[in-house]
Amino acid sequence: MKYPNFTLLFSFKMTNFVEHDQMLFIMKRINILLAFLLVIYTCTSQNHQPDNRLKESIADNLISFGIQIDANGTVNMEEMSEKYQKMIPLDTLQTKFTAIVSEVCKMKGCWMKLELTNGQETMVRFKDYGFFMPEDIKGKEVIVNGLAFVEEMSVEDQKHYAKDGGEFEEIINKISKPRKSYGFEADGVLIKE
C-alpha cells in the first residue's frame, strides 16, 4: 500500500534571504498576536466571584449578606452578653443573635462592631472575607450567624482596627496593652432596613 506524499504540500522553496526574513517577521508578529489573545482570553474567562456587596432582599425588610439565614432562633444582645461573660479565651460558640451596629470599617466594610450590654461590644469579621458590609449601617439592627469567641487582642491589632475605624492618632498611640475582647466570625448577616 502506498501512502500519499504530504511533503509536497508543506515544503516550499525559498529563492532568497529577503523572502525568508519577511516570513520570519510575519511569523513573529503572528506569535505575538497569539500570545496577546491568549492573555486576554485567560483574563476574561477567569471565574469572577459576584460582587460581595450584592444583597438579597427577603421578607420583613431584611437584607441578606453571606449565606442565606433567617431570623428564627436569634438571641438578643443581653443574652449574648451573658454567654460571652461565661466564655474564656479560645472558647467558641455557634450562635445567632441580634444587636445594633456601633462601628463599621470605613475602608471597605470588612468588619463591624456590635453593641452588647454594659458598654461591651463584639468585633465581627466575615468568614473567609467572603462578603463585606455597607459602610453606612452604623446604628442599624443586624442579625449575625456564626461563631462567637473570646480572645486577647494584641496591641498591634487594636491599633490597626482603631486606624481603620478613623480614630485620631493620639488615641491610637495610647493603646499600650493587650485586652480581652469578644469576637465573632459571621457566615451570614441580615440587616434590618
* Domain chopping of the chain, boundaries: 15-44, 56-192
pLDDT in tens, 47-84: 544 444 444 444 568 899 999 998 899 999 999 999 99
Query: By the 8 A CB rule, do 146 and 94 touch?
Result: yes
In this predicted structure, the answer to whether residue 5 has a pLDDT above a threshold of 70 is no
pLDDT band at 2 (very low <50, low <70, confident <90, very high): low
Pairing mode, strands 121-126 and 179-192: parallel
For residue 165, give Cα distances in angstroms to 10, 53, 136, 158. 69, 19, 13, 10
Alpha helices in the chain (DSSP H): 7-10, 17-44, 77-86, 155-164, 169-173
Return phi, psi of residue 55, to 5°: -125, 160
Q: What pLDDT digit, counting tens, does each position of 92-129 carry?
A: 999 999 999 999 998 888 999 999 998 899 999 999 98
Domain 56-192 top-level CATH class: mainly beta
Report the DSSP beta bridge partners of residue 100.
Answer: 141
Cα 41 vs. chain centroid, distance in angstroms? 25
With a cut of 70, say whether residue 144 has pLDDT above it. Answer: yes
**Which 3 state secondary structure label does DSSP give 117?**
helix
The pLDDT of residue 47: 52
- Band (pLDDT 50/70/90 cuts) for residue 17 is low
Q: Which residues contact 160 (CB under 8 A, 6 or more apart)?
A: none
pTM: 0.60
